[in-house]
Structures are given as C-alpha cells and as structure tokens.
Chains A and B, each alone.
Chain A
C-alpha cells in the first residue's frame, strides 16, 4: 500500500539554524500539506500546496517558513531561522482525487 514517507525521523538543531524537512507524498497525489503537533497538543495546519503554489497558509506559517516541490517526488518544508517554539512533530500529508489526507510518520524537531 502506498504511503507518505518523511526524513529525517528526528532532527536536533540549534536556535537560529536552518532546517529542511523532507517528504515524499504518495505518487499520484496532487495536494500536499504540512501540519505540526506540539507535544501533547492537537495537530495544527501549516500550509497546503497545489499545482506548484501555496493554496492556503496559517498564521503560524510566517516568513521564516517556506515550502518547495523541487522535483516530481519530494515536498520540503524549510524553516530559515529556527526558534525554541518551533520544536514539534511535523507531519506531511497528501491527498489525491478524494478528500482523504494521508499522513506521514512525522519528523520530530527539537530546537535547542
């Protein structure tokens, strides 16, 4: 069964450093998403991406965040200058012709 994959599974970085989180969505999917989940809290929407552009972004997704689909398979989330409060689990999701969003296993980001 096709699945969304994410790398790395864990990332530790120093405050102010740039991080890139990578995702490989399900191959025939058209819509891509990033969500985050701070420990013990609900899953929060960050951004959606369709047809090589951002469809919608949340208030959390400020200028330090960017997304890119550099080739036909990868979907990346870049955080330019990490802050302590960026520590969270980041989930990539994708959906195809149906409304069902399939989530990856997540990247646990820890900013020190």
Chain B
C-alpha cells in the first residue's frame, strides 16, 4: 500500500513536444506529491509539487495534473527541450512530521533535438 507506480520506464520525445509521465498511488493518507528531476551522478532536485486540494499546478513549462478519485497524478512538460533530458521520479508522502518520500521507479526522458 506504500507503493507508487510510475510509467513509462523510458520516454523519447522530439524537441518542442509534450512529455507526459504518469504515477499512481494506493495509500489515501498521502497528501504531498512532488516530482524530482535527476541528472546522471547528481542528487534528485525538486521540480514541482502538489497537494490533493488542487487538481492542477503549473510552473513554467511544467504542470502536475492530479486526480484524487483515481489516485493518479501526472507530469506534463510542454515544449520539451534537450536540457530536459533526465530521469524523473514521482513521489508521495504525508506532510505531518518527518515523513519519508516514497518514490516511483523513475522515467528516463530523452528529448531529441
């Protein structure tokens, strides 16, 4: 019940296209859903996050869509650029206290120029 399932495992998108990565969770106690971006040899860096009281959050070219009833959330990268090529992890946690992040399996995104 602690799992977060992420798909696809890898994704290739042309420059300027839309990249979409999906995640699903089971634990309804989760109330914080961040996306992390990781470049090779680096630590994960927070990209954007959402709480379940809103259905969408947009920051620049990055948008999270959240469907509470389906227990799913997704990351949309508009106008994808070669610099967006990285591994993306969705995660979930409970806000209260020192709560662990439960990560998805990761999506390796490649943007072709």
Contact = CB atoms under 8 A, between A and B. Distances in A.
Determine if chain A interacts with chain B.
yes
Given A41-B105, A101-B101, 11 more contacts: A41-B106, A42-B104, A48-B98, A48-B100, A55-B97, A99-B32, A99-B93, A101-B46, A102-B46, A103-B43, A106-B41
* Interface SS, A side: strand
B44 interface: yes
A44 interface: yes
Contacts of A104: 43
Interface in A71-112: 91, 93, 95, 99-106
Nearest to A49: B98
B101 A50 contact: no
B99 interface: yes
Contacts of B61: none
Interface of A: 4, 31-33, 35, 41-45, 48-50, 55-56, 58, 91, 93, 95, 99-106
A111 B25 CA distance: 34
B93 A43 contact: no
A32 B104 CA distance: 21
B89 interface: yes
A43 B102 CA distance: 8
Nearest to A51: B98
Contacts of B100: 33, 45, 48, 56, 58
